[in-house]
Amino acid sequence: SDFGGSLRNPAAWNNVFGLRPSQGLVPGGPDVEVFHAQMGVDGPMGRNVHDMALLLDVQAGYHPHAPLSY
């Protein structure tokens, strides 16, 4: 997950790609603290942009238990 660069920074240091998708693209699990849950998002890491796009395609989508997902 990425809250303040947790996907992008380690990816950059290890010569892979990391993406922070927009809020709601990848549904997150229900959290007790709704405000805090809005700031961090789950996203893909991959060896190249194609791998990352494949993983994002699997992760993205609507989930009925994630009210911000689309």
Give the per-residue pLDDT at 55: 95
Give the per-residue pLDDT at 6: 84
Give the per-residue pLDDT at 15: 93
Give the per-residue pLDDT at 17: 93
18: β partners: 45
Q: How many CB atoms lie within 10 A of CB 66?
A: 17
The low-confidence residues of the chain, meaning pLDDT below 50, are none
Give the per-residue pLDDT at 68: 79
Name the pTM for this structure: 0.77
Q: One-letter amino acid identity for 44?
A: P
**What's the Rg (C-alpha) of the chain?**
12
